[in-house]
Structure formats: structure tokens, C-alpha cells
Amino acid sequence: MSYTNDSSQSSRIVTIDVMKGVLIVGIVILHLVMLSGPFNYRVVPLFLQCVYLGLMCFFVVSGYFFRPDKSFKENIEKRFKQLLVAIVIVTLVLSTVMYLWMMVWGKAPSIDDLIWTFEYGFGLSELGLDPAVIYEKPICLVAITNYFMWVMLISFVVFYATAKRVISDKRIFAVAVISLLVVQCILAGYFRHILPFFIHLVPTGIIFMYSGAYVAKYHIIERIDALPMRDLKKWIPLPLFAFAAAVLVWIFPDGCGYDLMVFGTNGGFSVFTFYVESILMFVVYVYVCAIISKIPLVSSFFTLSGKHTLALTFLHGFVAKIILVPFYTFTIETVFPSEMSQTSLFFLSLLTIAIILIGCYLKELAKKSTAKRRGLAATE
């Protein structure tokens, strides 16, 4: 069976931008709230566990736009450079800026903390230990999502090298997904060690990228995006998938511990239910965001956020900590101050998102202005 993916067309799908925006806004808020508590304490209600599964949607969407007509080099080149450069800048430059900013306020830790921050950002910290028993983080840490970006970067390399063959046949796809689930199950259940660049989490990333490329064959997102709002019968899958996901999460809690290599309460075998729950929630997110995309002002906000996902991902920890440093003292037990109320942290999240988006918007205006001046100069 031949494989073509028309969903990788140049025109953007609004629902996907909205979905990425919804997810990253949710991640920023959850990070500021959840990471203000001790690392050995992560109790999350059922609703937020379902929401948390949306994290895997970033892998699924990345796979959804796979271009089989391009070579491995063409597919990987832009993404690899984009992610690697961002990781380096955030880890080295922004962490150093944070250290100097803390020094200005007389709150800088020892230089060893900055070195530890560099090691953590490059996935070279606490190697060999069980990720679930790491209860400390560097004080200067701003690259709080680097683990996810390393997983995505390495997953892209494997995915682009193999996707065309894997997605060409449903039997090969099934074998590949099951095999990777078994590998992740073994790593999570019987080989719980932090590996360089967080590669102990890579099998999961590849699995969801394969899944995204496979569902793209059936144009799932485009079909949901095109559903008429008044035809309620066609929206029946939304409550059905949401109910199925909620029931599964209730029976097999995921625990919101992907970064800890904790996929649920049944050890490594939780990987299998985690995968099913995540796919169910992916469909739920697509339906919900298809609805949101029809609401003008709300859609515009999340579309803007979705177009600047990388900026929000990499910068939110830095911006939030820059704001808080003059008023609070940071420790290695939490990323954000534990004495702040959840209400305060929620509004700090909104302020952080606003600052980053305003910066992105101004950058876009500057680019347009520069392009316009060059165009005028060329015509003279």
C-alpha cells in the first residue's frame, strides 16, 4: 500500500494551531503550579490527569505532518537545527543570565549550581539514577522542558529515518508500535535509569510520531475541523472518547509523571494503557479545539499561542523566575516558590504568557518592517 500524506500541505490547519496553543498554555499554568511543590509529591486529580495526557499530542502532531516525499535530510534539517539551537541558547545563555540576575539581588547560589544547570539542560545530570527519586533541581534552572525537547529531537531522527517504511503497511506499523511499547515497558519497569539526553523516554516519542503519521493517512484532523457545528450527530464521538479516556484513567491512573518515567500505577506495564489513554485524549483535544477554532477572539488567542509554541515552551520558566527573583528566595526542592498561593501562581502564568506573546508579536512586526524597507529599497 502506498503512503501519501496530504495533510502536510503548506496551508495551516487552524484547529492544530489552536490545539498547540491550548496545550502550551495549559503546560505553562500546570508547570508554575505543580513545580512550586516538592518533587516527591505529585498528587493530581482525575480531570488534570486526563488533561496532562495532551502532552503526547505534540509528538502526534509532529508525526501528522510527516512528508514522505522528502528525503531524511530535508525532513530533519530544519527541525534539528531549530530545536538544538534553542536548547543550547536556553541552557547556556538564559541560565547564565538568570545566575547574574540572582547575583544582582544578592541571591545567587554557588557557581556549582550554574554548572549543574548546564549539565541538566544538556541531559547529562544524575545519570544512572532512577528519575522518580530525584528530589532536587538546580536553583538557576530555566530550561524546565529540556527533557521533552531532547526526547523530541532524538525521536525525530529515528522517526524520519524509518517512518516511510513503518507507515506503508498497517502490519509493520502494529509491530513497530508494539515493539517500542515493550521496550519502553522494560525501561520503565526493569531498567529505571536516567540515560544521556533522556533517551530512556525516546521510545514513547517515536510511538506517538508513528501514530500521528498513520492517522494522517485518513485526514482525521481535517475531517473533524470541517464538521458543521449544527450537525450534532457528527459530534457524538467527542463525549464517547472523553468518557472512555476518563474511565481508563480512573481505572489505570497515569500519575502525570512522564518526565519521571512513571506511566501509571502498574509499573512498566502502564505504558500500554498510557498509550491508549493518550490517543483517546488526542481525539478529544482535536474535537474540542475544532469547536474553539470557531470562536473568534478565543481562537485568535490560542492560534497566536500555537504559532509560538517553542517560544512559550522554552521561555516561560525564564520569564517567570525573572519576575519572582526580587521577591522570593529559591531552593533546590522546588522550581518556583512554594509559599506562593495557587491563585498568585495562576496569574503569574497569565502574565508570563502575555509577556512572551507580546515579545513574539513585536518580533514579527520588526521582521515585516525590515522586509518592507528592503522591498522599497529594491524598487528604487
Burial class (CB in 10 A: 0-12, 13-18, 19+), 216: buried
> What pLDDT is recorded for position 43?
67
Total structural domains within the chain: 1
Q: Does 153 fall in a domain?
A: yes
Q: Does 146 fall in a domain?
A: yes
Q: How many CB atoms lie within 10 A of CB 302?
A: 23
Query: In terms of residue numbers, what domain contains 372?
Result: 6-379
Q: Does 1 fall in a domain?
A: no
Q: Does 258 fall in a domain?
A: yes
> What pLDDT is recorded for position 379?
66
Q: Does 285 fall in a domain?
A: yes
Paired residues of 257 in beta bridges: 262
Report residue 3's pLDDT band, with 50, 70 and 90 as the boundaries: very low
More confident: 189 or 254: 189
**pLDDT over threshold 70, residue 231:** yes
> What pLDDT is recorded for position 50?
85
**pLDDT over threshold 70, residue 266:** yes
> Per-residue pLDDT tens for 78-130?
888 899 999 999 999 999 999 999 999 999 999 999 999 999 999 999 999 99
- When mean pLDDT is compared across 44-53, 141-150, 320-329, the lowest value belongs to 44-53
> What pLDDT is recorded for position 7?
42
Q: How many CB atoms lie within 10 A of CB 328?
A: 15
* SS3 call for 137: coil
What is the model's pTM? 0.91
Burial class (CB in 10 A: 0-12, 13-18, 19+), 78: exposed
- When mean pLDDT is compared across 138-152, 202-216, 364-378, the lowest value belongs to 364-378
**pLDDT over threshold 90, residue 146:** yes
